[in-house]
Amino acid sequence: MTATAKTKGANAYPKVRRMRFRFGDPAPMQRHYVQDDIVLSHLLALLSSAFPPGEESFIRSVRRVSDQITDPVLKKRVAGFVGQEAMHGQQHRALNERLIEMGYLLVRIPTFPANSLRERVIVRAERLIPARLHLAGTAAAEHYTATLARRVLTSDELQAIPADPEVRKLINWHALEELEHKSVAFDVYRAVGGTERMRILLMTVPYVGAIPVVSLIVLLSILTDPTGWRPLTVTRQAIDVLRGPLVKGLTGEVAEYLRPGFHPDDIDTEDVVRQWQRELFGAEGELLDRVR
């Protein structure tokens, strides 16, 4: 099935929305901004810190093969994908700056300015790997984030967790747009001749390692937090996260990607996308005042 045939309805053309969130304005953010939950606060902080460099890499992976894309529909979808990912990175950088001010030390590590030495080293390293391999990694990561996004937007339990209202708005907006462009990198990968074998192989790394590696980094981050030196509290909260709707069963859903012939649009999210497009950007949308 072609990229054009697969693209329809709510996911057809990713819309670039120029956002501006106001973290800590007017009310300051609490240090543990997710229901005074140490584990969830550090987890979301670390995910936020990884988004800007990650999404910039995703953009570069698609642009590397842009001259090979001939389908005009896919070209338009790529433009939307690039615009959305760039805006995600920009707004997460704003949140990361606030998190660093609040004492989240590990957020500093992946958060570096554009055109910094570290970024230039990463860009040079990317150029040493084949373009299709880079793109296969992007497609795998996009499926992982889309799976998390669908959980965030469809779980009443997650939506009910008390958290900083501006952070919640950022997360819901980001999740919506991840679903809007969930199949773009995948379709680019197929359009430039990416193989099923490479696609599946590149997902095995996050499939096996994502939860253990992220769990370890969250633990290290908590150890830098003086208020985190409460083993019983942290253990209880960690168990709640692992057993909760964000993580429990996640690897099983991600495993769909490992099936030969899989396409992201095999997982129907159009109703979810339409619902949240209305709630966030409809006539009385919650985020209309955040659009520049």
| 176-226 tens-digit pLDDT | 999 999 999 999 999 999 999 999 999 999 999 999 999 999 999 999 998
In a domain, 238, yes or no: yes
Domain contains 97: yes
For residue 153, the number of C-alpha atoms closer than 13 Å in the C-beta half-sphere is 30
Residue 68 lies in a domain: yes
Burial class (CB in 10 A: 0-12, 13-18, 19+), 25: exposed
Give residue-wise pLDDT tens across range 38-92: 999 999 999 999 999 999 999 999 999 999 999 999 999 999 999 999 999 999 9
Report the chain's mean pLDDT, rounded to a whole number: 93
The range of the structural domain enclosing residue 238 comes to 31-259+276-290
Residue 233 has which token pair? 């509290």
Q: What whole-number distance in Å separates Cα of residue 204 and Cα of residue 258?
A: 8
Q: Residue 228 has what pLDDT?
A: 79
Instruction: Provide the token pair at 274.
Output: 């339409």
Other CB atoms within 10 Å distance of the CB of residue 14:
23
pLDDT over 90 (residue 173): yes
Tally of structural domains, the chain: 1
Confidence of residue 147 (pLDDT cuts 50, 70, 90): very high
For residue 2, what pLDDT band results from cuts at 50, 70 and 90? very low
pLDDT beyond 50 at 22: yes
